[in-house]
Amino acid sequence: MDFLSLTDASRLQFAMTAMFHWIFVPLTLGLGFIIAFMETIYVKTGDEFWKRATKYWMKLFAVNFAIGVATGIILEFEFGTNWSNYSWFVGDIFGAPLAIEGIFAFFMESTFFAIMYFGWDKVSKKAHLVSTWLTAFGTNLSAVWILIANAWMQYPVGMKFNLDTARNEMVDFWAVVSSPVAINKIIHTVANGYTLASVVVIGVCGWYLLKKRNFDFSIKSMKVASIFGLISLLVVIATGDKSAYQVAQIQPMKLAAMEGLYEGRECAPLVAIGILNPDKNIHNEEPPYLFEFSIPYALSYLAGHELNAFVPGINDLLKDFPEKQAKGKLAIKSLQAYTEAKNTGDTANAAIHKTTLEENFKYFGYGYLEKPEDAVPNVPIVFYAFRIMVILGSFFIVFFLINLWLTKKQQYPQWWLMLTILSIPLIYICSQSGWIVAEVGRQPWTIQDLLPVNAAISGNEASNVITTIILFFSLFTVLLIAELKIMFKIIKQGPETIE
Amino acid sequence: MKKTFENIWNFYYEGFTTMSQTGKILWFIIFVKLFIMFAILKVFFFPSELSRYDNDEQKTAAVIHNLTERVIETTPPSLNSN
């Protein structure tokens, strides 16, 4: 099967699994807190309406949780089978956060999950409320550890490469968990989950209102979701701005790809809407865009927090590629020479090669890249995904504001209610686009500058990976259909079925 | 202590036995999914590449071999800049 290389097949499989997993995660993250808010109102006011509302959204939470649970485990299977070099190379740095996630957060959320569902009328109101909040925190805590691991891949800190074991060893746990990239990524991602869940709640309520049923339930649920969604989205935007600044400092190639910026400049404008020139590449002088509408100075401000900041383009960033490639090759060859010297008992030479490797380790991954364009991510995917994310993100600010205003008036035009339903797939597209920007934008690196995808993969047959892709696709499609069918059934039954 | 365990057991027992039809369907889906993942996919399609080695020394040697051989095989001798 020559149409897909082993590297691309492994990437495709991983991307597909991660994107499928991310269908369920953000709704779980956000809906947990929406349920907790509603139950808090119930406990404070004693109004049985809020108990019914809590129980109803809890049902949808359970369906989403049940179908989504363990879909992330497949990613771990893939690490062992398709990405064995990567798995070994990252050592305990990647393993530690995942282990903490598994032991602590998973058990915490599972325990309180049971009380949340089985504990009505069996434990006190307050104990039940505490369980609901802890379930919400538990699911978020799971996400935190995964995001710490992801952030480390984008900004590897707090580790030292051990030549004897070929593994990166954690030397500063605090540096890993408190890295500015990790903190920003955690807040940005979980707030995105809250926004998504809010839009789902609004969309479901919009459907009820369109059907002229459950008016009181829908208005009150919409109010909670609109406020929560708006606040969350403002946090997403604030951390998104911070994220762009961090990307400019740490992963400038990703930022250049996001903008389709080939030649760097000062006072750089941000392309708000544009069509890339498909003939443009790093070797020609073609214009980068067929059409563009730009905001003056915005990219410079975003990247450097100054209107006249210089933003490097793809070609600027590739100027030192030969030097980095040579250092990377030297580092890899030093690892080989060190191992051979150590095996023959030549300690003097081993020490020399060790020093050479340590001096050049920063560029280790460049030794696997054949040509400069190998260091450039897929520009069109990153460029368009970034615009989809930003345009939809901006749309949702207006969406929440208008919905709050209409909720206050308690009058919704029919077209608006239809838009709330349409907004559900739109928020999922927005959320997935964010991940595409983050993950496709960092290609070819599994670990920034240290390990590209072609070195990280195992030596499987591409056909084996393609077979499992087909298997997964079938399994995932069945699971998704099952979830949607159960969800639609519960939504159609409505909150009136809740005792 | 015995009473506490009994209470916990009863809590789960009652919870599961009085579960709604939807809840039962969800548990069924979870079990089928976990069975497919761990008994079929993991066993037949996702063996750990490094598990065929007996110890960490062999795994280290295999990874170092992969990492060092790949650069030599995939990188041409001359540096190609734009």
Residue A285: count other Cβ atoms within 10 Å of its Cβ.
7
In this predicted model, what pLDDT tens digit does every residue of A248-266 receive, in sequence order?
999 999 999 999 999 999 9
Cα A62 to the center of its chain, rounded Å = 22
- How close, in Å, is residue A343 to chain B by CA atoms? 11
CB A211 within 8 A of CB A431: no
Mutation target vs A (from B25, B51, B71, B79; most A CBs, 10 A cutoff): B71
B81 against A334, higher pLDDT: A334
Are A77 and B42 in contact (CB < 8 Å)?
yes
Are A486 and B22 in contact (CB < 8 Å)?
yes
Residue A84 has which token pair? 């064995």
Number of domains in chain A: 3
- Structure-derived torsion over alpha carbons of residues B61, B62, B64, B68, reported in degrees to the nearest 10: 130
Q: Is residue A470 part of a domain?
A: yes
A272 lies in the same domain as A388: no
Residue finishing a domain among A347, A368, A389: A368
Distance CA A5, CA A459 (A): 12
Distance CA A481, CA B45 (A): 24
A182 lies in the same domain as A34: yes
For residues A88-110, give the mean pLDDT: 77
**The residue type at B10:** N
**What is the model's pLDDT at position B43?**
86
A28 lies in the same domain as A113: yes
In this predicted model, what pLDDT tens digit does every residue of A302-320 receive, in sequence order?
999 999 999 999 999 999 9
**What is the model's pLDDT at position A498?**
59
User: Which structural domain range is residue B49 located in?
Assistant: 2-74
A418 lies in the same domain as A477: yes
A386 lies in the same domain as A416: yes
In this predicted model, what pLDDT tens digit does every residue of B11-33 receive, in sequence order?
888 888 888 888 888 888 888 88
Number of domains in chain B: 1
**Model confidence band, residue A2 (pLDDT cutoffs 50, 70, 90):** low
- How close, in Å, is residue A79 to chain B by CA atoms? 8
Q: For residue B66, which residues of chain A lie inside 8 Å, CB to CB?
A: 85, 455, 459
- How close, in Å, is residue A328 to chain B by CA atoms? 9
Q: State yes or no: pLDDT of A69 exceeds 80.
A: no
Question: If you measure CA to CA, which chain B residue comes closest to A339?
Answer: B64
Mutation target vs B (from A24, A475, A483, A490; most B CBs, 10 A cutoff): A475
Interface of B with A in 25-64 (CB under 8 A): 25-27, 29-30, 33-34, 36-37, 41-42, 45-51, 56, 59-61, 63-64
Q: Is residue B32 part of a domain?
A: yes
Mutation target vs A (from B18, B31, B68; most A CBs, 10 A cutoff): B68
Residue A245: count other Cβ atoms within 10 Å of its Cβ.
18
Distance CA A191, CA A235 (A): 7
- How close, in Å, is residue A482 to chain B by CA atoms? 9
**Model confidence band, residue A103 (pLDDT cutoffs 50, 70, 90):** confident
A341 lies in the same domain as A308: no
Q: State yes or no: pLDDT of A279 exceeds 80.
A: yes
Q: Is residue B49 part of a domain?
A: yes
Closest to A260 in 3D by CA, of A277, A246, A248, A245: A277
**What is the model's pLDDT at position A75?**
86
Residue finishing a domain among A291, A316, A341: A316
Closest to A258 in 3D by CA, of A294, A299, A286: A299
Residue of B42, B48, B81 with shortest CB distance to A322: B81
**What is the model's pLDDT at position B82?**
36
Q: Is residue A199 part of a domain?
A: yes
Name A273's bridge partners.
Answer: A293
Average pLDDT, chain A: 92
Distance CA B22, CA A56 (A): 13
**What is the model's pLDDT at position B1?**
77
**What is the model's pLDDT at position A388?**
97
* Range name among A271-275, A282-286, A423-427 with the lowest pLDDT average: A282-286
A62 lies in the same domain as A100: yes
Closest to A135 in 3D by CA, of A103, A116, A109: A109
Angle at A49 between CA A48 and CA A51, to 5 degrees: 65
- How close, in Å, is residue B25 to chain A by CA atoms? 9
Are A88 and B47 in contact (CB < 8 Å)?
no
For residues A100-110, give the mean pLDDT: 73
Are B71 and A88 in contact (CB < 8 Å)?
no
A80 against B71, higher pLDDT: A80
* Range name among A99-108, A209-218, A345-354, A440-449 with the lowest pLDDT average: A99-108
Extended strands (E) in A97-226 = 159-162, 167-170
Residue A457 has which token pair? 């993969």
Q: Is residue A373 part of a domain?
A: no
In this predicted model, what pLDDT tens digit does every residue of A178-212 receive, in sequence order?
999 999 999 999 999 999 999 999 999 999 999 99
A73 against B65, higher pLDDT: B65
Distance CA A293, CA A308 (A): 19
**Model confidence band, residue A499 (pLDDT cutoffs 50, 70, 90):** low
ipTM for the complex?
A: 0.83
Residue A337 has which token pair? 């020479």
**What is the model's pLDDT at position A384?**
97
Q: State yes or no: pLDDT of A65 exceeds 90.
A: no
A225 against A93, higher pLDDT: A225
Q: Which residues contact A435 (CB under 8 A, 6 or more apart)?
A: A18, A19, A22
Instruction: Name the DSSP class of A271.
Output: E
A228 lies in the same domain as A266: no
A235 lies in the same domain as A384: yes
**What is the model's pLDDT at position A450?**
96
Q: State yes or no: pLDDT of A272 exceeds 70.
A: yes
Q: State yes or no: pLDDT of A268 exceeds 90.
A: yes
- Kindly provide the b/e burial profile for residues A136-175, where b requires at least 16 CB atoms within 10 angstroms of the residue's own CB: bbbbbbbbbbbbbbbbbbbbbbbbebebebbbbebeeeee
Q: Which residues contact A245 (CB under 8 A, 6 or more apart)?
A: A302, A303, A304, A305
Are B41 and A74 in contact (CB < 8 Å)?
yes
Are B67 and A84 in contact (CB < 8 Å)?
no
Q: State yes or no: pLDDT of A131 exceeds 90.
A: yes
- Residue A289, classed as helix, strand or coil, is strand
Q: State yes or no: pLDDT of A345 exceeds 70.
A: yes
Are B63 and A371 in contact (CB < 8 Å)?
no
Distance CA A390, CA A69 (A): 29
Residue finishing a domain among A346, A368, A390: A368
Angle at A399 between CA A398 and CA A400, to 5 degrees: 95
* Range name among A117-126, A251-260, A324-333 with the lowest pLDDT average: A117-126
Q: Is residue A1 part of a domain?
A: no
Mutation target vs A (from B25, B55, B66; most A CBs, 10 A cutoff): B66
Mutation target vs B (from A6, A87, A88; most B CBs, 10 A cutoff): A88
Residue A27 has which token pair? 């709704």
Are A332 and B11 in contact (CB < 8 Å)?
no
CB A496 within 8 A of CB A40: no
A74 lies in the same domain as A186: yes
Are A370 and B11 in contact (CB < 8 Å)?
no
Distance CA A333, CA A339 (A): 10
User: Which structural domain range is residue A276 located in?
Assistant: 258-316
Q: Is residue A282 part of a domain?
A: yes
**What is the model's pLDDT at position A315?**
95
Distance CA B21, CA A392 (A): 38
Distance CA A70, CA A25 (A): 11
Q: For residue B59, which residues of chain A lie inside 8 Å, CB to CB?
A: 88
Are A118 and B14 in contact (CB < 8 Å)?
yes
For residues A441-456, give the mean pLDDT: 95
A164 lies in the same domain as A72: yes
**What is the model's pLDDT at position A497?**
65
